[in-house]
């Protein structure tokens, strides 16, 4: 909708397939970031036999990109969460006694806390506009900047780094020279079906079984809202 403010969201999942959501595992940023940064890396094999001259480095692999984001937390009243245009449901973020402590704790529960059931950190999907990133938190630094007279923090920034993640089956497909790059990524919305989503990408729904195979979807009739699906370029047949 024109004029509607979309906030960056982080959703936490227990599993690497992004099908098991963490309870209360969603964070919506108070203030959208001014920028975000991707870090890309190419790993090369530069090994050489002893006593030989240097050889040209050989390509090894390209790991998933890493993402850097900075989040702002503020309970001084300067941040307003604007509601839908033409309504009066705006929300001003003011101090309710604990400053930003509750906001920080919810943020940490989603992206930082160790998942005791899976014995690993949560898997995360970060989405905002055209940004759709899957990974896990690798580093976080929180700086508290403004305080009440009793020392309760009212403002802070959190600098974060996320390590990109690709499921094993998709990683193998991407690293296989005979397989095409997986370039289309879509998040399941209410009312979506796999044949319908496949039709939107390819103009024909008959490729949905191939999409299900690539994504290891065993029951294509039961998609979960928020589930991320990859659509590989497919050589169309008549």
**What is the model's pTM?**
0.61
H helical segments located in 11-100:
none
- Please report the pLDDT score of residue 39 as a whole number: 86
The CATH code that applies to domain 168-231 is 3.10.350.10
Q: Which of 79, 111, 72 is nearest to 95 (CA)?
A: 79
In a structure prediction context, what are the per-residue pLDDT tens digits for the chain, which is 238 residues long?
455 678 899 999 988 888 888 888 999 988 889 999 988 877 666 655 455 555 556 544 556 788 999 999 999 888 766 444 444 445 677 778 888 999 999 999 999 886 666 667 899 999 988 888 889 999 999 999 999 999 999 999 999 999 987 654 444 444 444 343 445 778 888 889 999 998 888 888 888 998 888 888 888 888 888 888 888 777 666 5
Q: Tokens 């009212």 belong to which residue?
A: 154
The answer to whether residues 135 and 165 touch, using CB atoms and an 8 Å cutoff, is yes
Token readout for 100 is 């930003």
Q: Where in the chain is the domain with CATH 3.10.350.10?
A: 168-231
Q: How far is CA 4 from the centre of its chain?
A: 21
- Please report the pLDDT score of residue 70 as a whole number: 95
- Please report the pLDDT score of residue 117 as a whole number: 67
The answer to whether residues 228 and 134 touch, using CB atoms and an 8 Å cutoff, is yes
């Amino acid at each position: 909708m024109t004029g509607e403010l979309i906030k960056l969201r982080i959703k936490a999942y227990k599993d690497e397939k992004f099908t098991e959501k963490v309870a209360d595992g969603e964070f919506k940023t108070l203030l959208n970031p001014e920028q975000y940064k991707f870090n890309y890396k190419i790993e090369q094999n530069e090994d050489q036999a002893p006593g030989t001259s240097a050889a040209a480095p050989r390509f090894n692999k390209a790991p998933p990109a890493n993402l850097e984001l900075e989040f702002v937390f503020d309970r001084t009243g300067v941040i307003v969460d604007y509601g839908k245009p033409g309504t009066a449901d705006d929300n001003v973020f003011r101090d309710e006694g604990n400053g930003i402590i509750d906001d920080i704790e919810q943020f940490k529960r989603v992206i930082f806390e160790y998942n005791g059931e899976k014995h690993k950190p949560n898997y995360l999907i970060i989405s905002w506009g055209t940004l759709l990133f899957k990974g896990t938190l690798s580093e976080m630094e929180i700086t508290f900047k403004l305080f009440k007279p009793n020392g309760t923090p009212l403002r802070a920034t959190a600098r974060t780094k996320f390590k990109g993640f690709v499921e094993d089956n998709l990683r193998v497909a991407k690293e296989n020279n005979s397989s095409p790059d997986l370039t289309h990524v879509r998040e399941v919305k209410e009312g979506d079906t796999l044949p319908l989503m496949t039709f939107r990408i390819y103009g024909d729904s008959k490729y949905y079984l191939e999409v299900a195979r690539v994504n290891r979807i065993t029951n294509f009739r039961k998609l979960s809202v928020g589930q991320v699906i990859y659509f590989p370029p497919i050589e169309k047949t008549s």
